[in-house]
Amino acid sequence: MGRQAGVAMHITSLPGEHGVGDIADCARNFVDQLVELELGVWQMLPTGPTAYGDSPYQPLSAFAGNPMFIGLNPLVRAGLLDAADAAAMRDLPRDYVDYGRLIPAKQALLDKAAERFISHTGHGLGADYDDFQHRYGERWLDDYAIFRLLKSMHDQRAWPEWDQAYVHREPAALEKLRSDYRLDIEKIKVTQFLFEHQWQQLRAYAEDNGICLFGDMPIYIALDSSDAWAHPQRLLIDRDGQPSHVAGVPPDYFSEDGQLWGNPLYDWDYHRETGYRWWIERIQHAANQTPLVRIDHFRGFEAYWSVPHGAKTARDGQWIKGPGDSLFVAMREAMGTLPIVAEDLGVITPAVDELRENHHLPGMVVLQFEVGNDDFDIASVNENSVCYTGTHDNDTTLGWFHSNGDDTRSPEEIAQNQAGALKHTGGSAETLAHDMIRLAFSSKAALAVAPMQDYLGLGSEARLNVPGTTLNNWRWRMQAEQMRPDVTESIRSLVREGGRCKKINGRIK
Residue 238 catalytic? no
Task: List the one residue out of 425, 430, 423, 427 whose CA is nearest residue 402.
Answer: 430
In total, the chain counts a number of residues equal to: 509
Pick the catalytic residue: 25, 344, 393, 454? 393
DSSP output for 139-172: IIIHHHHHHHHHHHHTTT--GGGS-HHHHTT-HH
Q: CA 95, CA 477: separation in Å to the nearest integer?
A: 5
β-bridge mates for residue 215, sequence order:
293
Pick the catalytic residue: 25, 216, 343, 395? 343
3-state secondary structure 458-479: CCHHHCCCCCCCCCCCCCECCC
Question: Are the CB atoms for 453 and 10 separated by under 8 Å?
Answer: no
Pick the catalytic residue: 296, 344, 395, 454? 296
Residue 196 catalytic? no
Residue 296 catalytic? yes
Q: CA 390, CA 399: separation in Å to the nearest integer?
A: 11
Q: Hey, CA dihedral for 313, 316, 319, 320, is it positive or negative?
A: negative
Question: Are the CB atoms for 260 and 174 separated by under 8 Å?
Answer: no
Task: List the one residue out of 299, 231, 224, 297 whose CA is nearest residue 263.
Answer: 224
Question: Are the CB atoms for 37 and 82 separated by under 8 Å?
Answer: no
Residues designated catalytic: 296, 343, 393
